[in-house]
Amino acid sequence: MSFEIIKGGLMTTIQDGGRYGVQDQGIPVSGFMDESSAQIANSLVGNTPNSALLECCQVGCTIKANTEFSVAFYGAHMELKLNNHIVSQGKIITLTTDDVLSIGFAQKGLYGYLAICGQLDIPKTYDSCATYLPAKFGGFKGRKLEKGDSISIINPNILTNSFSVIKPQSFPQQVVLETLPGPEWDKLPSESQKQLLSSTYTIGKNINRIGYRLEGDSIPLGNKKEIISSGMVKGTMQITSAGIPIIMMADAPTSGGYLRVLNLTERACDQLAQMQTGKVQFCMV
Amino acid sequence: MIEVKRFGEKSLIIQFENIISIPVHQQVKNYYKHLLHSSIDGIKSISPAYNSITLMFDPLVTSFDALKEKVENLEIDSNTTADQKVVEIPVCYDSSLGLDIEEVAQSKNIAIDEIIHLHTAPHYTVYMLGFSPGFMYLGGLNPQLFIPRKKTPRLQIPAGAVGLADQQTGIYPSATPGGWQIIGQTPLPIFQVNEKPLVQMGDQIKFKPIDLDTFHQLKNTK
């Protein structure tokens, strides 16, 4: 009762709702980059929203079924093929033994989620299945999935009676991200506050599960350029001493020393996670 | 005395006085221990730092306002100084492991033996763990050992490497790139997945010098 990875894709990892209660050991939360898409995929197959699933990044994986089970994919616009026939995201796909499901390149968006009806047989690390690649733990042997890996499903199930169809999301190239003031918002000179909320930033090359470094105008800081190391959470925007905004994402370190000026809402984190390219602005809610 | 601030949609931060000091650390530690043992509904994570504590919460169970009120009304016994654990960490300062110790000795004009003495004498306070799993922010380094980071970071530093950087000393819990001046290495696994952590915030650590043979013996028994 398993499936096999035929192609690993660019960076396919097991993720779930994240790892909590161990941040006092310096262990990041990890988990889904785009939480709402992952939760929709899980819901489509009847799993609880934060169940472990496969997170594909930019180029998806190809799996071969060794038993019968249903899956659903949601998130980035990646071409899905079941035995070479195109199928859609946002609805149940049922695989039988030897079926091959391939998840292609993300035409739009960046992260796509493949939820499997039934529980993946992945050991928990600190009560979570989330993969944390920098320290090589969690998920499948602490690494991304590779050709030849076999993942067991504890209770594979087939959903025959499901008519739920969720339309794919649209991924615009320009997004206004909603934010709340961060702990050091008041430490930013008022001209710099205005500049940050009126500038447009480009999503550059430096984006990953840890954080998104934005390209654009540097923000002048006041006398205070650093803080005594303090906590960070997903969505925290730090401004480096060079004035560059960095937004912390799922694998964010638990602490940092730059000014934390803004905090993205959860919805804004999900929107940002899906941006391979494009431009963003910020507004206060 | 404390300020409770919103920190995104499902976290808050308890801010203490804006300095690094033992009294502030003690206060953070008291709040941290109290919160750990309190059973306030909806708290998912408690993460202490030098002068702040980050709380993550479940917004389906509690809210910022409810939690803020509870935190502000906590009755903390400020005289608690109990459970101060001292953890001894063996370190081999042999130049085959302490890759920069000769350079540090030269640039500081201090004999290697004296570097080892200065580094092993203090009890260091573990102010917090953060940045990466198991990384300790230590206080108490002798100012004679203050030294800038290396101009060019190394691409790979082994797990357990003990280093100096500016006013800090610390141990790399896992193999990573890094710019610290490496003066030794501990054979102890500092961070092991799913194991009880070797040290916690608020503990003290003491480095104990060991020779290369002892290093290899201890390394092999782990």
Provide the token pair at A118. 């039934």
pLDDT at A224: 82
pLDDT bin (cut points 50, 70, 90) of residue B81 is low
Q: Across the interface, do A23 and B174 touch by the CB < 8 Å criterion? A: no
Q: Is A210 within 8 Å of chain B by CB?
A: no
Provide the token pair at A223. 């006398």
Task: Tell me the domain boundaries of chain B.
Answer: 3-72, 86-221
Indicate the CATH number for domain B3-72.
Answer: 3.30.1360.40
Rg for chain B (alpha carbons), in Å? 19
Q: Is A262 within 8 Å of chain B by CB?
A: no
CA A2 remoteness from chain centre: 24
pLDDT at B79: 63
Task: Tell me the domain boundaries of chain A.
Answer: 2-152, 174-284
Highest CATH level, class, for B86-221: mainly beta
CA A129 remoteness from chain centre: 14
Q: Across the interface, do B11 and A23 touch by the CB < 8 Å criterion? A: no
Angle of helix B101-108 relative to helix B112-120, nearest 10 degrees?
100
Mean pLDDT of A54-70: 97
Q: Across the interface, do B52 and A231 touch by the CB < 8 Å criterion? A: yes
Query: Residue A2's CB: how many other CB atoms inside 10 A?
Result: 17
**pLDDT tens for each residue of A238-281:** 999 889 999 999 999 999 989 999 999 999 999 999 999 999 99
**Chain A: residue nearest B20 by CA?**
A228
The whole-chain average pLDDT of chain B stands at: 93
ipTM of the complex: 0.94
**pLDDT tens for each residue of A269-280:** 999 999 999 999
**Chain B: residue nearest A252 by CA?**
B131
User: Among A135-149, B75-89, B187-201, which stretch is predicted with the lowest mean pLDDT?
Assistant: B75-89
Domains B3-72 and B86-221 share a fold: no
Pick the CATH number of A174-284 from 3.40.50.620, 3.30.300.30, 3.40.50.920, 2.40.100.10: 2.40.100.10
Q: Across the interface, do B47 and A254 touch by the CB < 8 Å criterion? A: yes
Provide the token pair at A240. 């480096």
- Which of B32, B51, B132 is the closest to A26 by Cβ? B132
Give B13's contacts in chain A (Cβ within 8 Å): 183, 230-231
Give A28's contacts in chain B (Cβ within 8 Å): 133
**Chain B: residue nearest A234 by CA?**
B8
- Which of A22, A29, A231 is the closest to B49 by Cβ? A231
Q: Is A175 within 8 Å of chain B by CB?
A: no
Burial class (CB in 10 A: 0-12, 13-18, 19+), A168: middle
Give B57's contacts in chain A (Cβ within 8 Å): none
Q: Are B88 and B174 in contact (CB under 8 A)?
A: no
**pLDDT tens for each residue of A145-164:** 999 999 999 999 999 876 78
pLDDT at B82: 59
Mean pLDDT of A177-195: 96
Q: Are A117 and A99 in contact (CB under 8 A)?
A: no
